[in-house]
Structure 1
């Protein structure tokens, strides 16, 4: 559970530290998004490869190797002096993070052969997954209240050192599958597909939809098609696409992806709004989100006995309805502190329970020798959801902000450029202005950012309705419970 906790905390803690990092490193709008997504993007691109590698060399060996590398790179990243160095460090962390996540779930599959024991273990694993994402703001708030922003990366040291010491003693090595070797071409195709698609979305959000955005999306789509085509031709594919023939498996992967996108997107704009617009301290802002974090812990475990009695095509849409209600609340009633706190709690009720249900379905559908591959698909969906949450939802907020912001006439050219890029850029500009001018700029910036939150909330509410329909159709299996 230690690496699961760390990797998921890492996905959301940086979003909370973004205002302080932006103040110190002065990144552009695109660099801010890349600071968050470089990690998840590289991790998502390598998860399938690392899951297959773990099946071949042993998941315990891969887990310990990844932990050691993650600690070293995290320490180096904590002392980044530029935005480019931080982005590079985050990308390197993604390489080693990809070794951790599939290995944890695959080892659970190997250790717990009894279905009932494995069900509880997966519930604990999935709860840790959701709790880690929810705890990111709290951990970030506490650390940023007393330490420099680099402390959020040094967090890897106390969490992973116990694993490096005790792992060789407590963890058994998993069953190995030596039937095939890794395919470098497939690895490259998956990386190109994800990178190009995310870049196209980012570029469209920050600079408008132009030929570069369209070209990037086209390259990503082509690389993705080539990857899928190649997997069907290989005797031992990198990703076992035959697993997707199961409607329950495919539906669970999609629902898992969408629910994490909703959670990370919400954290992305809420943490900035609380700290910059409402002017709350990092600690106060993090404490405001505690009710949601508590709900994530409670429902992650409480859903297990419920899921034994309620069919998946009924239970999962109900859970997704909580997530949809969270965004509907924000879209219709605004972004006050009370509304955001209640919405975050509703969102965690849905996402926390969905993580438990969907991951149990995904893991149970795969044979033991392919546990790493199935785990990697599950984790890939998780990380792609994280990337899309920041890229699509965060990109929409940024795009609306830039289009709606009414800049005061007293700003010079440089100040206007910085303020128009991001909310944190506008906040940094206020340090150079008088009191009245600073208040006027932040009033305009806050209004534009809040308008972006409203737009994204309506979009996400619509996506939640689509997710409910997907779950109702794909998890509709006769005489079968979800878990």
Structure 2
């Protein structure tokens, strides 16, 4: 079996991982899968939760959103903390918290309890995500093996979001809503049992003092921006959301200043100067922007335009995920065989361009075109992510692996929120432009409002309104797809130019 060298070990020929490391990777994939699934696991459980716990409208929003907000807000903190106290220690602590919160959420008897449990789940998720990637960085010192491992990591991360909604639907259909949280327990128990045996401990040998002031500053920078960006697609450019983004950007400026001037910063400025790290961070954000910006339309298209039930739509959306698992390892093989990484990443963006181009030709009855386009987009995303994560982790010092991983994950969260805001706003603008002035006022706001309005109209008028609204939504989807294609096509050119001359050796 292979051995894992100590952090910072200098070796001309890195030890190859053996059965122990690959088994450990399989154990790490379980919490990663569950953390990504928990983003969408309430998709079908929300109605049952509402019937049982009777949350207010505000409470219902918090039940759904608190997990993602806490997760995004604490990623940078937890990544830096793991570098200081040990990534395995933080991972196992997070697994215990995630398991305990899952149990509390499953048997919550009030909306407040469920909100609190989901918040703790977010805290646990924020420890698990950067810790898994940092441990991959330390376990797989051979560049080729690490590239394959990161490719698998990227595929599991992307596929878990789609799988979460399907599992939610199946469990709620056969059991009670709390079962969607209980599925976390076996995986977390397995991690707690096998983690101490299989996973190596690693940390920064000279971490310095922990900058506690940077923690609230980082959360104040991240949360208002993500909140504003996520609300804009559905609510429009309301002053509240614009102010929220502005406040977040103000705190972001204060956070950056703190990192540049502090004696022991949470995010060392030198990390961003690593050869290849910043381009990887920016391009990864753009890829997330494109992926999440398309996903909000695809889900609505399957349900509200094609008329699929929520569970049927979720099952159909799994079909493109079948090919996701191959994208990361295949691109890793291309790089290992000498294909320039910049061209491989550019090829991933070109695939996303092709996916958006397919979606730009959607009609109101184009199921297979939608699925193929979404599948090509997802494969391009995984190909890009696997290479950019590998590049970023190689260019970051191994003692800062957790911090580097957390920055990438935070960028992904920002990119996803930005994609929903930008592409969502384009689609909404086209929808409202295409809806006739004679349509009911509510129906001109969104397709969901049109469906609700049509249900209260006479049969003929309701059917006519639905036909018009579905066509308008499809036109909006096409407009957003064209915009997305332009963005990723430019990113393809940028990747080819900025990455093709970057040759990174593993930082020690």
- Corresponding residue to 2:289 among 255, 261, 282: 261
Judge conservation of contact 2:275–2:502 (CA < 8 Å) in 1. Answer: no
2:471 counterpart of 1:447: yes
Give the structure with the larger helix fraction: 1
2:211 counterpart of 1:196: no
Report the counterpart of residue 404 of structure 2 in structure 1.
374
Deviates more, 1:302-311 or 1:160-169: 160-169
Report the counterpart of residue 461 of structure 1 in structure 2.
485
Mapped partners of 1:203, 1:21: distance in 2: 23
Deviates more, 1:159-168 or 1:16-25: 16-25
Report the counterpart of residue 126 of structure 1 in structure 2.
154
1:29-68 maps to which residues of 2 (within 5 A)? 38-68=66-96
Report the counterpart of residue 10 of structure 2 in structure 1.
none
Report the counterpart of residue 105 of structure 1 in structure 2.
133
Report the counterpart of residue 350 of structure 2 in structure 1.
321
Normalised TM-score (structure 2): 0.81
Q: What displacement does 1:358 show?
A: 0.9
Mapped partners of 1:26, 1:328: distance in 2: 42
Change (3 A) 1:122 1:468: same
Change (3 A) 1:207 1:281: closer
* SS at structure 2 position matched to 1:261: helix
Change (3 A) 1:22 1:457: farther
Report the counterpart of residue 326 of structure 2 in structure 1.
298
Judge conservation of contact 1:15–1:268 (CA < 8 Å) in 2. Answer: no
Change (3 A) 1:206 1:302: closer
Q: What displacement does 1:186 show?
A: 1.6
Change (3 A) 1:345 1:407: same
Bigger radius of gyration: 2
Deviates more, 1:58-67 or 1:213-222: 213-222
Mapped partners of 1:366, 1:228: distance in 2: 19
Segments of 5+ residues of structure 1 without an aligned counterpart are none
Judge conservation of contact 2:395–2:505 (CA < 8 Å) in 1. Answer: no
2:265 counterpart of 1:241: no
Q: What displacement does 1:274 show?
A: 1.2
1:66-145 maps to which residues of 2 (within 5 A)? 66-77=94-105, 90-140=118-168, 142-143=170-171
Judge conservation of contact 2:85–2:203 (CA < 8 Å) in 1. Answer: no
2:368 counterpart of 1:338: yes
Mapped partners of 2:48, 2:472: distance in 1: 21
- Corresponding residue to 2:243 among 215, 229, 250: 215
Q: What displacement does 1:119 show?
A: 2.9
Judge conservation of contact 2:172–2:179 (CA < 8 Å) in 1. Answer: yes
Judge conservation of contact 2:276–2:504 (CA < 8 Å) in 1. Answer: no
Mapped partners of 2:188, 2:397: distance in 1: 29
Let me know the Cα RMSD of the aligned residues.
3.7
Report the counterpart of residue 255 of structure 2 in structure 1.
227
Mapped partners of 2:100, 2:169: distance in 1: 24
Mapped partners of 2:125, 2:340: distance in 1: 34
2:492 counterpart of 1:473: no
1:367-446 maps to which residues of 2 (within 5 A)? 367-394=397-424, 396-398=426-428, 401=431, 423-424=447-448, 426-427=450-451, 435-436=459-460, 438-446=462-470
* Highest RCO, 1 vs 2 (Cα 8 Å, sep ≥ 6): 1
Q: What displacement does 1:56 show?
A: 1.4
Q: What displacement does 1:8 show?
A: 1.9
Deviates more, 1:263-272 or 1:220-229: 263-272
Change (3 A) 1:122 1:206: closer
Per-residue CA deviation, residues 278-298 of structure 1 (Å, 9 max, x unaligned), is 222344323433442122111
Deviates more, 1:82-91 or 1:461-470: 82-91
Mapped partners of 1:77, 1:36: distance in 2: 12
* SS at structure 2 position matched to 1:184: coil
Judge conservation of contact 1:36–1:390 (CA < 8 Å) in 2. Answer: no
* SS at structure 2 position matched to 1:172: coil
Per-residue CA deviation, residues 371-392 of structure 1 (Å, 9 max, x unaligned), is 1111211222223233334444
Deviates more, 1:422-431 or 1:16-25: 16-25
Q: What displacement does 1:406 show?
A: 5.8
* SS at structure 2 position matched to 1:11: coil
Mapped partners of 2:51, 2:61: distance in 1: 15
Report the counterpart of residue 171 of structure 1 in structure 2.
199
Change (3 A) 1:476 1:178: same
Mapped partners of 1:27, 1:403: distance in 2: 34
* SS at structure 1 position matched to 2:360: helix
Segments of 5+ residues of structure 2 without an aligned counterpart are 1-28
Per-residue CA deviation, residues 267-326 of structure 1 (Å, 9 max, x unaligned), is 322123212332223443234334421221111111111012111221111111111111
Number of residue-to-residue matches in the alignment: 476
Mapped partners of 2:110, 2:432: distance in 1: 24
* SS at structure 1 position matched to 2:358: helix
Judge conservation of contact 2:391–2:504 (CA < 8 Å) in 1. Answer: no
